[in-house]
Amino acid sequence: MLARKGNNFFLLARLFAKGHRYFLPKKLEEDFVDWRTKELIGGRTYPGLILPLELGRDHHEQEFLQYGKPQSAKLLVKRDEDGQDEFYSHIAFEFSPEPITPETILGIDRGAAKIGSGTVIGRSGEVIADKIQLEGKAFSEEMARLRKRIAEHQRKGRGRHRLLRLRGRKADIAIGEYANRVVAEALKHRSQIVLEKIKGTTMALFLTQSQFQKLHQALTYKAERVGLPPPVEVPAAYTSQTCARCGHQAPENRPKRDAAGRSLQGVFRCISCGYEANADDNASEVIALRALHQGLHGGKFQKFNVFRSWLRELRAGTA
């Protein structure tokens, strides 16, 4: 049983049958609540262990407790490297939110120097919200530091498994934080979340292929948990080179360096209409627009030339 007292959660585990030498009934303190039924159970006698739960940030247990209903639980024990026993609980939750019909579209672009950027557009292509992002400089530096340490351990023949696990946990935390922000914005604007369809050979930006897949998975279950539909995908081709304002596509829209030779990796500058923006923000708007166009054709992938012509007409007011 999962119970709550104040701001603390407890696992009530009935491990021993009546008559067993370790069977020891205990009286629950006042204000204990059965979290599944919300029934007040304080003052009752419980024939089992009353174990306080520590909620970890990695898996966002608070969201499960807020939106889900616990159905069953298992108590597990694991012995650490120092010979100490650690106890874990695996709790199964049921989610049954009211389904939400999307009214807007939230496009997500994987960033070149951050986790990603998002833009919300309406059904007429107008921007409703933008710059939905999680800065990734600190995360990138931490991943680089851990990669260096892992390489050093490997070169010296030392174990690197703990560092690999640490790197994975830190990456999962950052991805989970961004997924939370994206879903919160999607819920706020009643948005359909849209991602690029990425092939492994094209992954050369901020997130690795496996991390992008984790982001996709996190967005899927977090969206469905609050009643939103799962993310849809659009073709990734030319999203970074296409102007969200006029529809012009050219590699020159993404200048590599300025007149002084300084890097312009994050700059988008349309050579046709002169529109300037952060490259990731512009791409996220193009991704949302591709989804809007795709939806007008039954959700089927559309060739880029067809989409580009439609976008030009849309921005010219003739679509």
- For the stretch 224-265, pLDDT in tens is 889 999 999 999 999 999 999 999 999 999 988 777 766 677
Residues 21 and 61 grouped into a single domain: yes
- Assess if residue 165 is contained within a domain: no
Tell me, what's the pLDDT at 23?
82
Distance CA 32, CA 36 (A): 12
Give a yes or no: residue 164 inside a domain.
no
Of 94, 118, 144, the residue at which a domain comes to its end is 94
Do 127 and 34 lie in one domain? The reply is: no
Are residue 59 and residue 110 in the same domain, yes or no?
no
Cα distance between residue 228 and residue 3, in whole Å: 28
Do 85 and 179 lie in one domain? The reply is no
Pair (72, 111) in one structural domain = no
Query: What CATH number is given to the structural domain containing 206?
Result: 3.30.420
- Cα separation, 133 vs 108, in Å, equals 9
Residue 178: its pLDDT value, please?
Answer: 84
| Mean pLDDT calculated for residue range 290-301 | 95
Q: Is residue 138 part of a domain?
A: no
Where does residue 204 fall: left (phi above 0), alpha (psi -120 to 50 degrees), or beta otherwise? alpha
**Residue type at 59?**
H
Read off the pLDDT of residues 36-77 as tens digits, 9 standing for 90 and up: 888 999 999 888 888 888 766 544 566 677 777 778 877 788
Specify if 32 maps to a domain: yes
pLDDT confidence bin for 158, thresholds 50/70/90: low
Residues 124 and 263 in one domain: yes
The domain in which residue 189 lies consists of: 104-133+171-316
* Shared domain check, 274 and 189: yes
Q: Which range among 127-141, 151-165, 197-211, 229-243 has the greatest average pLDDT?
A: 229-243
Q: Lowest-confidence range among 40-54, 64-78, 106-120, 155-169? A: 155-169
pLDDT of res. 144: 67
Distance CA(231)–CA(196), nearest Å, equals: 10
Q: What angle do CA 43, 49, 50 make, to 5 degrees?
A: 55
Give yes or no: residues 255 and 202 share one domain.
Answer: yes
Residues 124 and 72 in one domain: no
Q: Are residues 178 and 33 in the same domain?
A: no
Report if residue 166 sits inside a domain.
Answer: no
Q: What is the maximal distance between C-alpha atoms in the chain?
A: 84
110 & 60 share domain: no
Is the confidence at residue 190, as pLDDT, over 90? yes
- In whole angstroms, give the CA distance from residue 300 to residue 293: 9
Query: Domain boundary residue among 65, 94, 123?
Result: 94
Whole-number average pLDDT of the chain: 83
- 75 and 20: one domain? yes
Residue 310 has pLDDT above 90, yes or no: yes
Residue 289 located in a structural domain: yes
Joined together, the tokens standing for residue 285 give: 């708007």
Domain count, the chain: 2
Residue whose structure tokens are 């921007």: 127
- pLDDT recorded at residue 33: 92
